[in-house]
Amino acid sequence: MPETPSKSTTAAKTTTAPAAAGNTAVPAHGDRDRVAMLSLRADGTPDQHRPEIIGDREFALAATREQFTQQAVSAVDQRERAATDPVAETVEQDPAIAKLQEAHQAAATAAEAAAQATVDALLVGGDAPSKTSK
């Protein structure tokens, strides 16, 4: 006749821990994401939890400038292109392209300033903020 498992063995096999939401290994209070380079959401805000930038300041600044610039130029490009009628497009586009390039440059300049401020605010350790601008 087959042996019947004891109640303690059966209970151990069927007992499961309650389902937890997310990573509960580290308490959520007081934690920060320490990164060498930020990831950005579509609205331009950092995609990390209370980010701290660590590592080389010049690398962080260059990477953040590039990210902010590309995102700002892309947003201007989408907005400006949506304002034009794609059906009525003509071969003569120089004035529209010049206007778009001016808007790109303005957005890129503003994004570089925002990148500088973000790195200065979030950099932990490393070099002091540079007083020179691009």
DSSP string of 41-79, one letter each residue: -TTSSBSSSS-EE-S-HHHHHHHHHHHHHHHHHHHHHHH
Residue 32 phi/psi, 5° resolution? -140, 150
- Is 54:35 a contact under the CB 8 Å cutoff? yes
What's the angle, vertex CA 61, arms to CA 57 and CA 65, rounded to 5? 175
Q: What is the pLDDT of residues 83-123, one digit of tens each?
A: 765 665 555 657 888 888 889 999 999 999 998 999 899 88
- Token pair listed for 97: 């392209």
Q: Report pTM.
A: 0.45
Long-range contacts of 87-92 (CB under 8 A, 24+ apart): none
Helix intervals (H) in the chain: 7-14, 57-83, 94-122
Q: What is the pLDDT of residues 56-88, one digit of tens each?
A: 889 988 988 898 888 888 888 888 887 765 665
